[in-house]
Homo-oligomer: A and B are copies of this chain.
């Protein structure tokens, strides 16, 4: 496994995301060279490192490798020297990222992989002014970067195809789950779904239907508990009790639970075919029946609830309170 680990990584930008990357790489034994224009960057990275160390100590009992080093440098050229991967984490503005990536590419060794953490700018735009655009990829992480495994990989029009598997191996070696986004779209995949819910939440506050607290509680005490086990599509399918997603969609259609956001694709036969095929493929790829899926959902939920009980957080507190009331009840009489 460790042969896929980069020797060193050059980080451009030491904000919330850059600091999270620094922590993930350093705790996995990878040396980091950090270029952050702000003088606060180093302090921020040190704070992230402290948080990540605490999290990893709680997460695993497997001994971690010796930490990588953190070297703070004063120029882009210095940051990319001798590294296998450059990870750019500048503010989300094309006019900042484009020249930064171009100069990183100029200064780096020709085989260096150059990845952007952007959550919102498509790679074809990012690579437009790069001298060697074939080495540029988007590798979009999620906070906190040292704990959340997903990294969305997206290639631009001019990216060389071999860059995707190379990047995937590196991220996998530091404990992540790379997901290739096959089309360049704004927001990639996860954030589109997250943003759709966020916008609906804003409307609920705006229209005085619910407060911030009520909305967040509605989620974390309900479907939020199963989101770590099942995503938005399989949740409906598995939960519906129907034999297929086609039967589910035919029964429920788009009428259920109208939202402010009304557009929905038309349920043509070919669209239903596609959904059915893809859902069946997912179920069979995971080698489970629907009934085994519901079992796994139960088991996953039990674990999540147990974990939150230990932290006394949200639904974990509800569980702890329930147990307290059970203890007070008289023992069963037969």
Binding site for B on A (CB under 8 A): 1-2, 15-16, 29, 51, 54-55, 58-60, 62-66, 92, 119-120, 142-144, 147-150, 152, 173-177, 179, 181-183, 185-236, 239-241, 254, 256-261, 263-265, 271, 274-275, 278-279, 281-282, 285, 294-308, 310-311, 313-315, 318-319, 321-334
Contacts and interface: CB of A to CB of B under 8 A. Distances in A.
Contacts of A2: 325, 328-330
Contacts of A201: 193, 231-233
A172 to B, nearest CB: 8
A212 to B, nearest CB: 4
A297 B216 CA distance: 14
Contacts of A260: 263
Q: What's the dominant secondary structure at chain A's contact region? A: helix
A230 B219 CA distance: 8
B150 A228 contact: no
10 contacts: A62-B327, A63-B332, A176-B318, A189-B204, A189-B209, A192-B200, A192-B204, A194-B235, A201-B231, A206-B265
Contacts of A282: 211-213, 216
Given A186-B258, A265-B202, A323-B60, A315 B227 contact: no
Nearest to A240: B16
A28 to B, nearest CB: 8
Contact of A198 (B29, B210, B236): B236
Contact of A212 (B176, B233, B265, B298): B233
A332 B68 CA distance: 11
Leading 5 A-B pairs by shortest Cβ distance: A216-B231, A303-B307, A187-B257, A66-B332, A224-B227
A208 B96 CA distance: 31
Given A193-B215, A224-B228, 11 more contacts: A2-B325, A2-B330, A55-B301, A144-B294, A175-B318, A182-B214, A189-B204, A197-B232, A203-B265, A227-B227, A303-B307
A111 B314 CA distance: 33
A325 B211 contact: no
A152 B69 CA distance: 51
Report which residue of A193, A199, A325 has the largest number of chain B beta carbons within 10 angstroms of its beta carbon.
Answer: A193
Contacts of A315: 149, 177, 228
B298 A51 contact: yes
Contact of A299 (B1, B58, B195, B228): B58
Contacts of A302: 55, 58-59, 147, 307
B218 A190 contact: yes
A271 B63 CA distance: 49
B119 A256 contact: yes
Contacts of A228: 220, 224-225, 227-228, 304, 308, 314-315
Contact of A301 (B148, B221, B297): B148
A78 to B, nearest CB: 26
Contacts of A236: 198
B314 A310 contact: no
B190 A219 contact: yes
